[in-house]
Amino acid sequence: MNENGYLNDEDFIREFVAAKSKFKSWSSKRIKNELIKRGIAEKNIEPILNKMNINADVENAMIQAKKRYESLSKRKLEPKELRNKLVSFLFSKGFDYDLIKEVCEKILKTKIEE
């Protein structure tokens, strides 16, 4: 904060990243895009996002996927259609394909075994 009580860009980025990652389970890519929309320079975003826990995206993707799986499983969808909808949903949340693939395999394997 500066002497006028305003957040500087670095403090704003840090607060934004913490809030959106923890409470909204956003991906780092989505957080970055939202900050850019708000006029924050990419060179200011990268160092703070790089400090963000690398596992945060994995955890956030799992949280999002579990919630979505629960709602989709009530629809009695075919396994392939359920997987496609889950993948599309996670893409819309800004997660990378490799992470989505990993998370979907874990979720679907776990749920099939239950």
- Which two structure tokens, joined as six digits, stand for 103? 């998370």
How many C-beta atoms lie closer than 10 Å to residue 22's C-beta? 12
Sequential pLDDT tens for the chain (114 residues): 555 555 688 889 999 998 998 888 889 999 999 999 999 999 999 988 888 766 788 899 999 999 999 999 898 888 899 999 999 999 999 999 999 999 999 998 876 655
Torsion, Cα of 19, 21, 25, 31 (10° steps) = 100
Q: pTM for the full model?
A: 0.76
The owner of tokens 């670095």 is 10
Q: Name the residue ranges covered by the structural domains of the chain.
A: 9-52, 56-113
What is the rounded distance in angstroms from the CA atom of residue 3 to the CA atom of residue 13? 18
